[in-house]
Amino acid sequence: MKNLGIIIARKNSKRLKNKNILKISKIKLIEFTIIAAIKSKKFHQIVVSSDDEKILNLKKKYKSVNFLNRPKFLTKEKVKAIEVVQNIINSKNYENFDNVALMLPSCPFRNSKDIQNAFNIFKKTDTVISACKYSFPPELALVEKKDKYAGYFLKKSPYLDGNTSSQFYEKCLRPNGGIYISNIKKLKKIKSFFKGKIKLYKMPIQRSIDIDNRIDFELAKLIYNKKLFS
């Protein structure tokens, strides 16, 4: 079975400028993911899709990785990750691959063992998604309604019955962006990692940080400098 690894990194990040090439210690954010993918030895080919010249120039450093200049129509803000993945797997250059794994640079502390472990789970299902526990019960989430009054996101929130103990909460997990693995034929058909038979690869919170803004980035630097990601 041939595995294709895909790393996507758009140039213009909205909330944190130049996010994918910011450095933690002396390592660019995207390099953490490239290094983990290479060290995992699970891929017959690793592809980086980007419209950022500074990222594309990393091909001089990581010669075993295929750096693709992303088409302009896939660089817009509202373009979904799955659209970029589909564009790649539908290319003739990758028609002989069986499985694909998407890895996001915003989850830098997912490591090579995480990738290997996720693939071990993948042997028994159609799709594997890495995830971690919510730090706050989603049952208590609030939304602001059209009339500007707050209400619970879930209609059956435990708070409505006065049940505030954690025993009333489901053990919910969230995708952390570490890795999404799927069979390519299945993915081409249903066009989503979030449909079909899905199993979760559970990761600890310290390796699951998803960098979206400056606070996330500063926290990631702290985790790295304190060596808390192992």
What CATH number is attached to the domain comprising 179?
Answer: 3.90.550.10
Q: How far apart are CA 85 and CA 72, in angstroms?
A: 15
Predicted local distance difference test score (pLDDT) of residue 115:
98
Number of structural domains (the chain) is: 2
9 and 57 in a single domain? The answer is yes
Predicted local distance difference test score (pLDDT) of residue 228:
86
64 and 21 in a single domain? The answer is yes
Predicted local distance difference test score (pLDDT) of residue 168:
59
pTM for this model (two decimals)? 0.91
Please check whether residue 230 lies inside any domain of the structure: no
Please check whether residue 114 lies inside any domain of the structure: yes
82 and 157 in a single domain? The answer is no
Domain that residue 158 falls in: 135-171
Predicted local distance difference test score (pLDDT) of residue 19:
94
Predicted local distance difference test score (pLDDT) of residue 160:
61
81 and 144 in a single domain? The answer is no
Predicted local distance difference test score (pLDDT) of residue 135:
80
109 and 186 in a single domain? The answer is yes
58 and 99 in a single domain? The answer is yes
Tens-digit pLDDT string for the chain (230 aa): 899 999 999 987 888 999 999 999 999 999 999 999 999 999 999 999 999 999 999 999 999 999 999 999 999 888 999 999 999 999 999 999 999 999 999 999 999 999 999 999 999 899 999 999 988 777 778 889 888 888 877 776 666 666 666 665 667 899 999 999 999 999 999 999 999 899 999 999 999 999 999 999 999 999 999 988 87
Predicted local distance difference test score (pLDDT) of residue 161:
66
- Residue at token pair 């996101």: 153
